[in-house]
Structure 1
Amino acid sequence: MIFIVYIFLFLSIFFAFFGNIGMLRFPDVYTRLQASSKCATTSLLSLFIGLMILKGFSSISVRILVIGIFFLLTSPVASHAIGRSAYEGGILPWRRVRKKEDISEDK
């Protein structure tokens, strides 16, 4: 049983680590927002599942479940609101600009 808990805790660390790398590497607010929201959600849910398995069925597990459901419902809504306000604020999505030299090399 503790092995399963370790797997979920490792998954939580894995998603949090690569979400932070995505925040540093992606070029604009929209791709960074996607990386942070997806990885934060999966990281916290993996952590919550691991803690629920560790504690068994108890009042703490029920509280963790309620917090997880709340986070699962509010995180996409908050990410959408941030992305929409960025778009309405005039922040354009990143586009890769190719030079003429790059296009001629592809042919």
Structure 2
Amino acid sequence: MNLWTTIIGNIIIVIGLIFMTLGVLGIYRFNDYFSRILITSKVDTVGFLTIMTGMIIKHGFAFFSGKIVLILALYMITNPIATHAITRAAHISGYRIKKER
């Protein structure tokens, strides 16, 4: 059973790393700042959650898992707030989307 949980945990971690890699490559597809920060926020949050879930499964459910769950809860609260604050500051400072002709 321990071998299978290690394999499943490693597979989930690799899926998270692939998701983050494809997300970083996808950032270059967008032209403006607001689209890029939206994609960056989503890729960062989902990739981090997936990797940490793989770590929980790989190391088993113990005190270590409780600490990771606490970190995940704080991360899920603070990451969207930080992204919103950065984007709002850019908007207030006058940064606008350039219209293509």
> What TM-score comes out, normalization by structure 1 length?
0.82
> 1:96 Cα deviation (Å)?
3.6
> 1:89 Cα deviation (Å)?
1.1
> 1:37 Cα deviation (Å)?
0.5
Q: Deviations over 1:14-37 (max 9, x none)?
A: 221122113333211111101110
Matches within 5 A, 1:24-103: 24-97=28-101
Aligned-CA RMSD value:
1.4
> What does residue 104 of structure 1 align with?
none
* Greater RCO (CA < 8 Å, at least 6 residues apart): 2
CA contact (8 A) 1:27 1:94 kept: no
Task: Indicate how the Cα distance of structure 1 residues 10 and 95 shifts in structure 2: closer, same or farther if over 3 A, else same.
Answer: farther
Distance 1:20 1:55 in 2: 28
> 1:66 Cα deviation (Å)?
0.6
Q: Percent identity?
A: 30
Question: Which ranges of structure 2 fall in alignment gaps of 5 or more residues?
Answer: none
Q: Which amino acid aligns with 1:92?
A: R
> What does residue 21 of structure 2 align with?
17
The 4+ residue runs of structure 1 with deviation greater than 4 A are none
Does the residue aligned with 2:82 lie in a helix, a strand or coil? helix
Higher alpha-carbon Rg: 1
